[in-house]
């Protein structure tokens, strides 16, 4: 057992490593976890000492609030290894800020910055061999918080666990992604929790997404709950549309997640003089653009999926195939972003943070 010097962290190192048993070339997203995890408990109004321990199941009382009322939030982040074996985080401050915004919205305590950021760095240092070099490789970082207080009264818990687990990752989607535009189901509503990274926002998508899968579509493009006329998000990603030479994406709102990849794409586009409009895009505009040939590309953007081109979409039982582009903007943007993340291009924004 050892103590970290700046933040006090108890570290119980694993005596063995699973790393030799992992096929890093054939990872399916989010199924393999590294040797260690971090957790930190909140009780009596304060956070305790974070503990890094071998990755293992957690024992919890069956009445813990998270099981009954879904009081749970998470973040999705990544670490990358450069050619000199240094490990880097991408805009961790943004994930930290959003995590605490989500905490406030779910009536949970905010996590102190040193526990989140220093705890994360210390955990990654211990498992740094799990971060593989090369574009396309990363370590997906999953900080989360759950309500651990006992009792099934429908009220916020008094006890919580913050934890971080790490998973080596390649791509999120395999192959082509076709999407179905939502006509009935909604991901979020005004006044709801759509802007928070709350676990329930994702489980609420499972059923409509399964229905879409059954029709041959991998994801759903969510529309606004009130009118189903505005295009908002694509599955677990923010969504961009290229019509003629302009890139469009919806403004963030109470219904839309303030994605770090989305934000970074907008900043990259501004730097590189790519025309962008942040405004609501109507389903009718999209259909018209698909029909007259001005719709060039649709892509999703998120930490897990990075930038994911969409091959076509369906609306009211009509399928619209997107034209194949020679040098799609989606892939140009993905390249610029991943070059910065892997330290293959100058980080003019100061986005990368050394672990």
The answer to whether residue 202 forms part of the interface with ligand COI (CB under 6 A) is yes
* Distance of alpha carbon 237 from alpha carbon 257, whole angstroms: 9
Q: How far is CA 86 from the centre of its chain?
A: 23
Q: How far is the CB of 95 from ligand COI (least distance, A)?
A: 9
The answer to whether residue 137 forms part of the interface with ligand COI (CB under 6 A) is no
Q: Which stretch binds ligand COI (CB under 6 A): 280-288, 301-309, 326-334, 336-344?
A: 301-309
Is residue 98 left, alpha or beta, with left meaning phi > 0 and alpha meaning psi from -120 to 50?
alpha
CB of 9 or CB of 305, closer to ligand COI: 305
The answer to whether residue 143 forms part of the interface with ligand COI (CB under 6 A) is no
Q: Which stretch binds ligand COI (CB under 6 A): 10-18, 55-63, 111-119, 298-306?
A: 298-306
The answer to whether residue 112 forms part of the interface with ligand COI (CB under 6 A) is no
The answer to whether residue 302 forms part of the interface with ligand COI (CB under 6 A) is yes
The CA angle 228-196-188, to the nearest 5 degrees, is 15
Closest by Cα among 232, 269, 228 to 251: 232
The answer to whether residue 76 forms part of the interface with ligand COI (CB under 6 A) is yes
Closest by Cα among 267, 192, 260 to 222: 192
* Positions 235 through 294 that interact with ligand COI (CB under 6 A): 236
The answer to whether residue 304 forms part of the interface with ligand COI (CB under 6 A) is yes
* Distance of alpha carbon 336 from alpha carbon 124, whole angstroms: 25
The answer to whether residue 295 forms part of the interface with ligand COI (CB under 6 A) is no
326 CB burial (10 A radius; 0-12, 13-18, 19+): exposed
Q: Please give the size of the binding site for ligand COI, defined by CB under 6 A.
A: 6
The CA angle 228-73-141, to the nearest 5 degrees, is 105
Q: How far is the CB of 99 from ligand COI (least distance, A)?
A: 12
The answer to whether residue 194 forms part of the interface with ligand COI (CB under 6 A) is no
- Which residues sit at the interface with ligand COI, rule CB under 6 A? 76, 202, 236, 302-304
């Amino acid at each position: 057992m050892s103590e970290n010097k700046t933040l006090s962290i108890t570290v119980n190192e694993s005596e063995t490593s699973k790393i030799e048993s992992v096929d890093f070339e054939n990872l399916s997203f989010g199924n393999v976890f590294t040797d260690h995890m971090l957790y930190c408990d909140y009780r009596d109004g304060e956070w305790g000492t974070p503990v890094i321990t071998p990755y293992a199941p957690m024992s919890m009382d069956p009445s813990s609030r998270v099981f009954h009322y879904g009081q749970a939030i998470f973040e999705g982040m990544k670490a990358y290894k450069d050619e000199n074996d240094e490990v880097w985080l991408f805009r961790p401050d943004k994930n930290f800020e959003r995590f605490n915004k989500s905490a406030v919205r779910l009536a949970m305590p905010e996590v102190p910055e040193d526990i989140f950021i220093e705890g994360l760095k210390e955990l990654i240092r211990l498992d740094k061999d799990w971060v593989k070099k090369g574009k396309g490789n990363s370590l997906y970082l999953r900080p989360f918080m759950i309500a651990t207080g006992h009792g099934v009264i429908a009220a916020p818990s008094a006890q919580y666990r913050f934890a971080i687990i790490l998973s080596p990752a390649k791509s999120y989607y395999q192959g082509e992604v076709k999407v179905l535009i939502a006509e009935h189901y909604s991901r979020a509503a005004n006044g709801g929790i759509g802007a928070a990274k709350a676990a329930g926002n994702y489980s609420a998508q499972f059923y409509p997404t399964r229905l879409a899968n059954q029709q041959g579509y991998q994801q759903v493009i969510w529309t606004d709950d009130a009118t189903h006329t505005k295009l908002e998000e694509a599955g677990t990603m923010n969504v961009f549309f290229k019509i003629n030479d302009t890139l469009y994406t919806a403004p963030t709102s109470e219904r839309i997640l303030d994605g770090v990849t989305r934000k970074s794409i907008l900043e990259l586009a501004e730097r590189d003089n790519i025309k962008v409009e942040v405004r609501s895009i109507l389903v009718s505009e999209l259909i018209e653009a698909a029909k007259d040939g001005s719709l060039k590309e649709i892509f999703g953007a998120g930490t897990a999926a990075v930038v994911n081109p969409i091959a076509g979409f369906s609306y009211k039982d009509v399928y619209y195939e997107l034209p194949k582009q020679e040098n799609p903007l989606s892939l140009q943007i993905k390249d610029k972003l991943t070059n910065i993340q892997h330290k293959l291009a100058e980080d003019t924004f100061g986005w990368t943070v050394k672990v």
